[in-house]
Structure 1
Amino acid sequence: METYKTVLKEVRIRDEVYCDCCGRKIDAEREDYLHLEKQWGYFSKKDGENHVLDICEACYDKWRSSFAGAK
């Protein structure tokens, strides 16, 4: 026989998103953005650090144009 109990579970949901470059609030329901997560490893000067970035499309386009070989 199985018995059940009801429990309340705390859940994290996205509330708001802001661009980490320009600071503009991103309407995540109507526009896309770049979300990056990086856990730095042993051979990095940032060993153990976790970096998370959200970048709006306009800032991404500006950033990408600075890459070597960008078209």
Structure 2
Amino acid sequence: MMKEYDIKAQESQVLTKVICNCCGKEIPQIREGIWEEYFHAEKSWGYLSQQDGRQDSFDLCQDCYEKMIKSFQMKVH
């Protein structure tokens, strides 16, 4: 996950930046606390997988998301 936070207090974090994990482009912030739309994914891998216990998360800009889904064999609905 490519997000940067400004830690104001020990218990709260303020999101300051979102970066596409694929192309490295910064997702534009429209106004304070609101970003242009982007795709965010999180996966906690279970037992019996090759990634046993691993937790993954990533963010994609709209362009990279479109490229990713165009590469799928089955269309996204």
Check whether TM > 0.5: yes
Q: State the TM-score, normalizing by the size of structure 2.
A: 0.73
Can you give the 5+ residue segments of structure 1 that lack an aligned partner in the other structure?
1-7
Identity %, equivalent residues: 39
- Post-superposition CA distance 1:19-59 (Å, at most 9, x none): 00000000243510001010000011101111010000000
Match of 2:56 in 1: 51
> For residues 64 and 18 of structure 2, what CA distance do their matches in structure 1 show?
14
Q: State the TM-score, normalizing by the size of structure 1.
A: 0.78
The total of aligned residue pairs comes to 64
Runs of 4+ in structure 1 off by over 6 angstroms are: none
Q: Give the aligned residue type for 1:36.
A: A
Task: Considering fraction of residues, name the structure with more strand.
Answer: 2
Q: CA deviation at 1:69?
A: 2.9
Q: Which has the larger radius of gyration?
A: 1
